[in-house]
């Protein structure tokens, strides 16, 4: 059961999957919204500029049917006249073409924005296989498209019948009008009918757009296994990352152990904690060059003993340094006084080793601020 659930597409598409789909040219699309916008713009243009365009086209046809003697005698003049009339006709319908072009360009913004995908332009031999096309025809999407086509045809036919029926008196009145009046009235009737029929398509758009968005995101849903795999690819394999962190810690530990011989003193707990301090010329304050607990503390003490680094048992100070002193950083200013006592002892010890005399007494009660000392660890 668990394996079956991992194979079911129940998880919403991740941002990475959506971006990949967009790169492949997969975005929410609704043909209905584009067709509706183009038709409604065309209807609006005919309603507002239809009379002007008809007058312009009528004048152009009249000019074209009038031939003067120079034009008839010189055939090249016919081509020039035809070019002039064609340009006039083109300029007459240019507002309509411009509005339709603008409608085509802005229609994608109703479902997001433009999306140019070079991947979608690449040739794909799989598209020549008829089986996927047959599957789409008998799929749920094909059934929905069929229902939409039938509903759209029925809706448009119903609205067209209703419009014709409501305007039947005006339609029959055309037969009793003069030609010019009849043409003008017919134009208004056609414009009104076209605008009414196209407006009815808004219902189809309102239904289709949410469905296309839902279908798009539903198609891109992921299985739980795909989500896990994507996390591995984006964040890296947890086992590999753990191994890298382990190697990084080991390298840092080796660097730290390599710095122990340069320390001036090692402060111990005596067994659980060990912090190696260095205070060289040019330093404004002592620094912790190595620290650790347990096995790491034992290794620090061993290396320090091999290289003759002085050691001092000061449990509260050792715990405070381990908790608050960062590696290769100056110790907290609140511990300056305590560490100064330790370093004074180290300098006395170094001087005793060089010139002899009485053996220096190690400091016993080193004052450490109580708020900096963590709870003691047995051992």
Q: Which of 33-47, 53-67, 122-136, 271-285 has the lowest mean pLDDT?
A: 122-136
If you compute the radius of gyration of the chain from its CA atoms, what whole number of angstroms results? 44
Choose between 345 and 116: higher pLDDT.
Answer: 345
Q: Is the sign of the CA dihedral 277, 280, 286, 290 positive or negative? A: negative
The secondary structure of residue 312, as a DSSP letter, is: E
Choose between 80 and 307: higher pLDDT.
Answer: 307
Which residue pairs from 187-191 have beta carbons closer than 8 angstroms and sit at least 24 positions apart in sequence?
Answer: 187/50, 187/51, 187/54, 190/46, 191/43, 191/46, 191/47, 191/50
Burial of 196 (0-12, 13-18, 19+ CB in 10 A): middle
Place 345 in a pLDDT band, splitting at 50, 70 and 90: confident
Helices 238-259 and 295-306, interaxial angle, to 10°? 30
Answer yes or no: are the C-beta atoms of 112 and 28 closer than 8 Å.
Answer: yes
Answer yes or no: are the C-beta atoms of 289 and 336 closer than 8 Å.
Answer: no
Q: Which of 68-72, 145-149, 206-210, 315-319 has the lowest mean pLDDT?
A: 68-72
Look at residue 186 in the predicted model and tell me its pLDDT: 74
Q: Is the pLDDT of residue 66 over 80?
A: no
Look at residue 89 in the predicted model and tell me its pLDDT: 85
Mean pLDDT confidence for 346-368 = 82
Tell me the three state secondary structure of residue 129: coil
Mean pLDDT, the chain, whole residue set: 79
Cα–Cα dist 167/193, whole Å: 9
Cα–Cα dist 36/100, whole Å: 11
Look at residue 364 in the predicted model and tell me its pLDDT: 78
**Phi/psi of residue 288, each to 5°?**
-90, 120
**How far is residue 32 from each of residues 7, 29, 225, measured CA to CA in Å?**
34, 9, 36
**Apex 156 CA angle, 150 and 157, nearest 5:** 85
Q: Is the pLDDT of residue 14 over 80?
A: no
Place 126 in a pLDDT band, splitting at 50, 70 and 90: low
Cα–Cα dist 144/218, whole Å: 15
Q: Is the pLDDT of residue 51 over 70?
A: yes
Q: Is the pLDDT of residue 118 over 60?
A: no
Place 48 in a pLDDT band, splitting at 50, 70 and 90: confident
pLDDT tens for each residue of 269-278: 877 899 999 9
Q: Is the pLDDT of residue 114 over 70?
A: no
Alpha helical stretches, state H, the chain: 2-7, 15-23, 31-65, 69-73, 75-106, 118-121, 130-137, 140-166, 168-173, 179-219, 224-235, 238-259, 295-306, 315-324, 336-355
Mean pLDDT confidence for 205-233 = 79
Answer yes or no: are the C-beta atoms of 38 and 44 closer than 8 Å.
Answer: no
Look at residue 236 in the predicted model and tell me its pLDDT: 59
Cα–Cα dist 106/108, whole Å: 6
Q: Is the pLDDT of residue 342 over 50?
A: yes
Place 238 in a pLDDT band, splitting at 50, 70 and 90: low
Give the pTM.
0.47
Place 1 in a pLDDT band, splitting at 50, 70 and 90: very low
């Amino acid at each position: 059961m668990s394996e079956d659930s991992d194979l079911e597409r129940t998880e919403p598409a991740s941002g990475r999957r959506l971006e990949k789909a967009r790169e492949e040219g997969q975005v929410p699309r609704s043909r209905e919204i584009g067709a509706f916008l183009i038709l409604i713009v065309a209807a609006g243009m005919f309603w507002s500029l239809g009379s002007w365009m008809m007058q312009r086209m009528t004048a152009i046809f009249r000019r074209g049917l009038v031939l003067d003697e120079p034009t008839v005698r010189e055939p090249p003049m016919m081509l020039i006249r035809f070019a002039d009339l064609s340009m006039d006709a083109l300029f007459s319908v240019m507002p309509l073409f411009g509005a339709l072009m603008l409608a085509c360009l802005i229609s994608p913004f109703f479902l997001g924005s433009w999306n140019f995908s070079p991947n979608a332009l690449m040739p794909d031999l799989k598209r020549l296989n008829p089986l996927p096309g047959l599957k789409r025809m008998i799929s749920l999407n094909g059934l929905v498209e069929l229902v939409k086509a039938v509903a759209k045809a029925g809706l448009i036919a119903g609205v067209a019948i209703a419009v014709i029926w409501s305007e039947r008196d005006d339609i029959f009145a055309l037969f009793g009008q003069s030609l010019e009046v009849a043409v003008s009235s017919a134009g208004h009737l056609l414009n009104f009918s076209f605008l009414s029929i196209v407006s009815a398509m808004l219902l189809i758009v309102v239904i289709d757009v949410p469905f296309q968005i839902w279908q798009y995101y539903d198609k891109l849903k992921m299985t739980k296994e795909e989500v896990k795999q994507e996390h591995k690819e984006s964040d890296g394999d947890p086992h590999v990352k753990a191994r890298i962190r382990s190697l990084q810690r080991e390298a840092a530990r080796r660097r730290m152990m390599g710095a122990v011989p340069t320390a001036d003193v090692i402060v111990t707990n005596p067994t659980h904690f060990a912090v190696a301090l260095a205070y060289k010329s040019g330093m404004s304050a002592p620094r912790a060059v190595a620290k650790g607990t347990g096995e790491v503390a034992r290794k620090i003490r061993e290396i320090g003993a091999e290289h003759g680094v002085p050691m001092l048992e000061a449990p509260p100070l050792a715990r405070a340094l381990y908790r608050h002193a960062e590696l290769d950083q100056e110790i907290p200013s609140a511990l300056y006084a305590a560490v100064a006592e330790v370093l004074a002892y180290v300098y006395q010890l170094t001087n005793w080793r060089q010139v002899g005399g009485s053996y220096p007494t190690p400091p016993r009660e080193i004052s450490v601020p109580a708020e900096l000392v963590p709870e003691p660890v047995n051992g």
